[in-house]
């Protein structure tokens, strides 16, 4: 898979143990702490299904998958949307598992929270000084991750670049994206 920067972003997130004694508390602190712990556990297991499960539990996979289609969203038949989101979840899980051994980071600390009306940006810092930014939003059942930024790279935007490239390079054939995700 040709996603070096998303690999770095995902692995920094998934292998991070979030500091329970965060320096800043906000409404989303417990959620970010739980998400970090789940992805750190998945990194220890190293299996695609474990990563996909953590992503399903904490991320807005439907929103991320639909965003990743970019201007080609209209090419996705409503009847195939659930299949596409499921394949995207599996793709993310496989990708994370294939790259889980490349980084081992611990000690994510929440440094700042901002936002309102159910949408927040949670800034965190790793012990090595790297910043990890979570975009989260509140639902009736709790928070969901909308996107993650590591080293100024947004994961959802990187998926969008990759997925739209597959579609564009295959004459706007949405089936080419399905084939790519099934590999």
> CB burial class (10 A; 0-12, 13-18, 19+) of residue 114?
exposed
Domain 4-182, CATH number (from 3.40.50.150, 3.20.170.30, 3.30.1360.10, 3.10.450.710): 3.10.450.710
pLDDT at 105 over 60: no
- HSE of 126, CA atoms in CB hemisphere, 13 A: 21
CB-based contacts of 159, cutoff 8 Å, min separation 6: 3, 6, 64, 67, 68, 88
Q: List pLDDT tens digits, range 29-87.
A: 889 878 877 777 787 788 889 989 988 999 999 999 999 999 999 999 999 999 999 99
User: What is residue 151's predicted lDDT score, i.e. its pLDDT?
Assistant: 74
- HSE of 31, CA atoms in CB hemisphere, 13 A: 22
pTM of the full predicted structure?
Answer: 0.81
- CA distances, 71 to each of 3, 9, 80, 102, 124 (Å): 20, 24, 17, 33, 31
User: What is residue 106's predicted lDDT score, i.e. its pLDDT?
Assistant: 59
């Amino acid at each position: 898979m040709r996603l070096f920067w998303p690999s770095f972003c995902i692995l920094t997130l998934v292998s991070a143990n979030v500091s329970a004694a965060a320096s800043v508390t906000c409404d989303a602190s417990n959620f970010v702490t739980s998400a970090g712990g789940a992805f750190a556990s998945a990194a220890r297991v190293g299996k695609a299904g474990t990563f996909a499960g953590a992503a399903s539990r904490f991320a807005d996979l439907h929103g991320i998958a639909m965003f990743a289609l970019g201007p080609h969203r209209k090419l996705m038949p409503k009847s195939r949307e659930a299949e596409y989101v499921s394949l995207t979840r599996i793709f993310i899980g496989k990708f994370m598992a294939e790259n889980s051994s490349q980084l081992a980071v611990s000690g994510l600390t929440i440094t700042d929270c901002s936002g309102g009306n159910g949408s927040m940006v949670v800034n965190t810092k790793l012990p090595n000084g790297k910043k990890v930014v979570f975009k989260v939003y509140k639902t009736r059942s709790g928070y969901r991750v909308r996107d993650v930024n590591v080293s100024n790279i947004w994961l959802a935007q990187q998926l969008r670049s990759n997925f739209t490239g597959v579609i564009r390079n295959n004459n706007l054939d949405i089936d080419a994206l399905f084939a790519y995700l099934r590999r």
